[in-house]
Amino acid sequence: FADTLGPDASEHVLTPVQWHPATKFADPYFGTATDYSERYNRAYGLIPSYVSAGASAAGYSLTMAIQDAFRRCTFPEQGVDADSLLFTAGLLQCEQVVGERGTGYERVMRSLVKQQINTFFGEIALNSFRRNVALSPITAQIQSGVLQATLPIEVANKALVMPKPPPKDEDSGAEKIGTLHKDAFITVVVVVVGSFLILCLAVLLTLGRSRQQSRMLERMLVISPDDLLIINHPVRLCDGSYECGKAMHRNTLVALEPLTE
């Protein structure tokens, strides 16, 4: 990943990992994660991956479970093979402890379920599905081109760098206007001017729409005489009042009532 992006783009990139050879995990057999990595490198000429480390930790976990399972047992016969030890009932003579009867295999499985140990790979505690629920992934960060363990803090070998620092050439040689870099200042000016222009445009559109609505309302309320088809004019009655006239306006029958005499 780092080789693909290059040293500049990959610097300070974060990634989760299952294991890192520089973490501070340790156990009595393999020692620290660094000890394991160095011994593995001497033996095979390679840097161990998390797969190799996990396999070694699984072997250590099983060894501890077997030791715990047969800790209070004796073997009545010499030369007992592994299959008989694990699957032949009644072969073992063990101290009577409630819930620990059964074959050797059953004793080992019970030991694994209750196991909770620290290893160079991290903490191991298996649930009923044989999954390690105690292992916490490590957050690693590329620093100076090297992947370093940064979180959790108690097992990290390097401090987390955040936020990402600016490139040295950008920080030292960039022209500043006030407290802002030139590019940042130009960006601020463009945003402010653009916002002002957008606000002005919104005001103009609002005024134009308001005037348009006023004209439409005026056309609806004020009727030109040319738009009326007179059927009969208002007629003045003997008592001085008027009888409304009638006219057609856009296929609608309307009443004509005089406002003044």
Task: Report pLDDT digits (tens) over 49-79.
Answer: 999 999 999 999 999 999 999 888 887 667 7
Residue 261 pLDDT more than 60? no
Q: Which of 114-118, 124-128, 241-245 has the highest mean pLDDT?
A: 114-118
**Cα dist. 129→56, 59, 79, 168 in Å?**
20, 18, 33, 51
Query: Tens of pLDDT along 17-46?
Result: 999 999 999 999 999 999 999 999 999 999
Residue 132 DSSP class: B
Instruction: Output the pLDDT for position 94.
Output: 81
Residue 227 DSSP class: G
Instruction: Output the pLDDT for position 36.
Output: 97
Query: Tens of pLDDT along 171-187?
Result: 555 666 666 677 777 88
Do the bridges between strand 122-124 and strand 138-143 make them parallel or antiparallel, or are there none, so unpaired? unpaired
Query: Tens of pLDDT along 93-107?
Result: 787 765 567 788 999
Name the more confident of 150 and 219. 150
Whole-model pTM?
Answer: 0.60
Average pLDDT score, the chain? 86
